[in-house]
């Protein structure tokens, strides 16, 4: 059956394909449309649309990137990298310090805060170190009449020491403890004049005022109650009291201040002992200790 050009034939698209019914303009026998295109932007017909594009399947939506999670992950990685870098730098620094200590241990020891320098000669006077006078309120008696005193901690230790010696039949007698600046002035200047001694000679047996360990309240001159003739004498080291002190004084935190050939240059005084049983006393005698 022939159809005149320009006639429209209705095509019905099955409903199960979801297509609409559209009119298709028949072509003439030459295969060209009856009406030329006017160049307008009219919608394409069904036949003008490729089959692959006529039905667009529903594509699953792309999941959104969790921005907060991403930022958190990057921050955590940054912190880990920073911590790792700090650890590596610390290890390198320790390694360099260890190498330096191995190559030049003297220079490392000199810069260590625990290796404090000892007193220089400028700090001393006639080979004696300066000491501050102990406050009266910190002193306690070591004899019954209260005439000889020491700092409280030293006095307690001294009484315990003499009691222990007494149980072994040894008599420790205190001769001198704390001395004020006025006391030391007399012992140095007045006695020096009476004995016609020069300053250096007198300083070998008695410190100038302000430079005596007796100012601290930690020093004590000890004699032997059974052989008093040897008190304040180099031969005191031949007494039972001295032998007991040499064997036991450290138990009560007492030590000999001026042993034989001491580097401080003070005469040998086997009767002169000092207490070093607390941090304050250790600091007080640190310089003198380094000169032994």
Integer Cα distance of 280 and 138 in angstroms: 13
Which stretch of DSSP H or E encloses residue 203? helix 199-203
Token pair 């032997």 in the structure block, residue: 224
For the chain, the average pLDDT equals 76
Higher pLDDT, residue 59 or 85: 85
**Res. 64 pLDDT band, cuts 50 70 90:** low
Integer Cα distance of 179 and 288 in angstroms: 18
Integer Cα distance of 209 and 179 in angstroms: 10
Q: Is the pLDDT of residue 22 over 90?
A: no
- Under DSSP, the state recorded for 120 is P
In SS3 terms, 229-248 reads as HHCCCHHHHHCHHHHHHHHH
The listed range with the strongest mean pLDDT (27-41, 58-72, 237-251) is: 237-251
Measured in Å, how far apart are the chain's first and last C-alpha atoms? 139
What secondary structure does DSSP assign to 14-35, as a single string? -GGGTPPPEEEEPB-TTSSBSS
Q: Tell me the two tokens of residue 82.
A: 């920073």
β pairing state of 254-258 and 219-224: unpaired
pLDDT digits (tens, 9 = 90+) for 90-107: 566 555 544 444 444 433
Show the CA angle centred on residue 60, arms to residues 55 and 66, nearest 5°: 150
Q: Tell me the two tokens of residue 130.
A: 């300066």
Write the Ramachandran bin of 196: left for phi over 0, alpha for psi from -120 to 50, otherwise beta: left
Domains in the chain: boundaries: 1-35+44-49, 127-290
**Res. 81 pLDDT band, cuts 50 70 90:** low
pLDDT digits (tens, 9 = 90+) for 109-128: 333 333 333 445 558 999 99
Q: Which residues contact 101 (CB under 8 A, 6 or more apart)?
A: 108
Higher pLDDT, residue 222 or 71: 222
pLDDT digits (tens, 9 = 90+) for 152-181: 999 999 999 999 999 999 999 999 999 999
pLDDT at 80: 65
What secondary structure does DSSP assign to 205-220, as a single string? TSPPTT--GGGGT-EE
Q: Tell me the two tokens of residue 97.
A: 């310090």
Higher pLDDT, residue 61 or 195: 195
Q: Is the pLDDT of residue 16 over 80?
A: no
The listed range with the strongest mean pLDDT (2-11, 50-59, 177-186) is: 177-186
pLDDT at 264: 85
Q: What are phi and psi of 279, to 5 degrees?
A: -65, -35
pLDDT digits (tens, 9 = 90+) for 216-245: 999 999 999 999 999 999 999 999 999 999
Token pair 């003198």 in the structure block, residue: 288
Q: Contact at 8 Å (CB) between 175 and 221?
A: yes
pLDDT at 85: 64
Integer Cα distance of 285 and 292 in angstroms: 11
pLDDT digits (tens, 9 = 90+) for 190-203: 999 999 999 999 99
pLDDT at 286: 76
Integer Cα distance of 140 and 146 in angstroms: 8
93-to-96, 105, 140 alpha-carbon distances in Å: 5, 16, 52
> Is the full-model pTM beyond 0.75?
no
Q: Contact at 8 Å (CB) between 275 and 151?
A: yes
Q: Decide: helix, strand or coil at residue 140.
A: strand
Higher pLDDT, residue 77 or 190: 190
Report, at the CATH architecture level, how domain 127-290 is classified: 2-Layer Sandwich (3.30)
**Res. 265 pLDDT band, cuts 50 70 90:** confident
């Amino acid at each position: 059956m022939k159809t005149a050009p320009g006639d429209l034939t209705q095509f019905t698209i099955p409903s199960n394909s979801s297509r609409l019914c559209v009119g298709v303009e028949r072509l003439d026998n030459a295969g060209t449309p009856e009406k030329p295109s006017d160049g307008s932007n009219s919608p394409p017909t069904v036949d003008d649309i490729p089959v692959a594009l006529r039905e667009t399947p529903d594509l699953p939506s792309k999941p959104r990137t969790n921005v907060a999670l991403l930022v958190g992950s990057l921050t955590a990685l940054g912190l880990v990298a920073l911590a790792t870098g700090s650890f590596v730098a610390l290890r390198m620094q320790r390694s360099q310090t260890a190498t330096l200590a191995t190559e030049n241990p003297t220079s490392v020891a000199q810069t260590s805060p625990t290796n404090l320098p000892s007193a220089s000669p400028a700090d001393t006077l006639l080979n004696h170190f300066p000491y501050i006078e102990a406050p009266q309120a910190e002193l306690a008696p070591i004899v019954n009449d209260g005439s000889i005193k020491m700092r409280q901690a030293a006095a307690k230790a001294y009484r315990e020491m003499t009691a222990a010696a007494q149980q072994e039949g040894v008599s420790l007698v205190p001769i001198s403890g704390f001395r004020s600046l006025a006391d030391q002035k007399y012992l140095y200047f007045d006695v020096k004049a009476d004995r016609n001694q020069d300053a250096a000679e007198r300083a070998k047996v008695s410190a100038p005022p302000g430079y005596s360990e007796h100012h601290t309240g930690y020093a004590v001159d000890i004699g032997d109650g059974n052989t008093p003739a040897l008190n304040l004498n180099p031969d005191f080291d031949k007494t039972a009291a001295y032998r007991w002190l040499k064997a036991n004084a450290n138990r009560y935190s007492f030590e000999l201040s001026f042993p034989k050939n001491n580097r401080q240059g003070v005469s040998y005084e086997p009767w002169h002992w000092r207490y070093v049983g607390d941090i304050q006393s250790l600091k007080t005698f640190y310089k003198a200790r380094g000169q032994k």
